Structure 1
Amino acid sequence: MSHIAVERNRRRQMNEHLKVLRSLTPCFYIKRGDQASIIGGVIEFIKELHQVLQALESKKRRKSLSPSPGPSTPRPLQLPTQPDHSPLGFESVGEVGACCNSSLADVEARISGSNVVLKIISRRIPGQILKIINVLEKFSFEVLHLNISSMEDTVLYSFVIKIGLECQLSLEELAVEVQQSFFLEPVFQNQI
């Protein structure tokens, strides 16, 4: 087989593999159709899946180490970051982001270009996504993209949000406000 035929076959296989990767990755992660963008998007998607996997493995370890078979006290899931700790469960993630963790959810907000990327890892709570979106809209954020990944009773919400002109919140305040939405009453209450 000639060198040209071998190279043509290699490019055809590479293009087929890239098509498969693109079809398996949510469109938000792939900004353009070139090879580098596809591979970069797949890497970001795999990193998020890895975060969910780490959270689930940590939860599984805690359950197996728990001495009592009864219901356990909820503990915070840990995002794989290296934050600087400060009081009240609030953490700083470098200059461009912030985290706020509690027993119900871990919230991370960071700047990405001209938008904010908001990631929340929590236990699955019915109606919680509506409460989070209400908080974002209340403070003049516009949801550009939302990706929800779940496994068993753990869920990862990944938002890309645009900062509205009227918005006066810092990243730290945004993380705290979203965190507080987990302590609010349900959005829809059963009517008798």
Structure 2
Amino acid sequence: MSHITVERNRRRQMNEHLKILRSLTPSFYIKRGDQASVISGAIEFIKEMQQLFGSLERKKKRKSLSPTPSPKPAAFCRSSAADVEAKISGSNVMLKTLSKRIPGQVVRIVAVLERQAFEILHLNISSVEDTVLYSFVIKVCIVV
């Protein structure tokens, strides 16, 4: 086989794999249609799914263990309603909630955040079965 034929086959195969990757990745992760955007969006999606999977595994492990209290970082809260994590970076807050899926829940969360003078810069929603992960990037507005 000539080098040109081998290279043509390699490009065709890469394009087919990118089409599959694009079809498996939710569209809001892919900002543009170029190859680099498809790959970076897929990476971001996989990282979030790994985080969600880890959270579900920890939740499953907590349920199987005896209920002994564990030390909690200041920015992490677990309750029967949801696991909530908040990280502050400058004037922004990364807020993640992991809970059972409830219809209209995200609308209520957004309404509460906006009433508290928080500006939502980004919202990402990932779900597996009856569990949902909401990831917010919030700008904290100081009202005087």
Scaled by the length of structure 1, the TM-score of the pair is 0.58
Give how far 1:62 is off.
Answer: 2.6
Q: Which residue number corresponds to residue 29 of structure 1?
A: 29
Partner of 1:55: 55
Is 1:106 the equivalent of 2:84?
yes
Q: Secondary structure at the match of 1:168?
A: coil
Q: 1:142 Cα shift?
A: 4.8
One-letter amino acid of the counterpart of residue 102, structure 1: R
Secondary structure of 1:150's partner?
strand
Q: Residues of 1 paired with 2:20 and 2:86: CA distance?
A: 31
- Residue number in structure 2 paired with 1:136: 113
Shift in alpha-carbon separation, 1:120–1:53, aligned structure 2, 3 A: same
Aligned residue pair count: 140
Amino acid at match of 2:133: L
Q: Which AA in structure 2 matches 1:138?
A: R
User: Which residue of structure 2 aligns with residue 64 of structure 1?
Assistant: 64
Which letter maps to 1:105? D
CA contact (8 A) 1:119 1:159 kept: yes
SS across alignment from 1:6: helix
Q: Report the aligned-residue RMSD.
A: 3.3
User: CA 1:90–1:58 in structure 2 vs 1: closer, same or farther (change >3 Å)?
Assistant: closer
Does 1:6 pair with 2:6?
yes
Q: In structure 1, which of residues 123, 143, 147 is the aligned counterpart of residue 100 of structure 2?
A: 123
* Equivalent runs, 1:164-175 vs 2, <5 Å: 167-168=141-142
- Tell me, yes or no, if the aligned pair for 1:147 and 1:157 is still in contact at 8 Å: yes
- Judged with a 3 Å threshold, the aligned counterparts in structure 2 of structure 1 residues 27 and 117 are, in CA distance, closer, same or farther, namely farther
Match of 2:126 among 143, 146, 149: 149
Unaligned runs of 5+ in 2: none
Q: 2:35 and 2:93 mapped to 1: Cα distance?
A: 26
Q: Give, in whole Å, the separation in 2 of the partners of 1:50 and 1:128.
A: 23
Q: Which amino acid aligns with 1:130?
A: V
Query: Do the aligned partners of 1:107 and 1:120 also contact (CA within 8 Å) in 2?
Result: yes
Calculate percent identity across the aligned residue pairs.
63
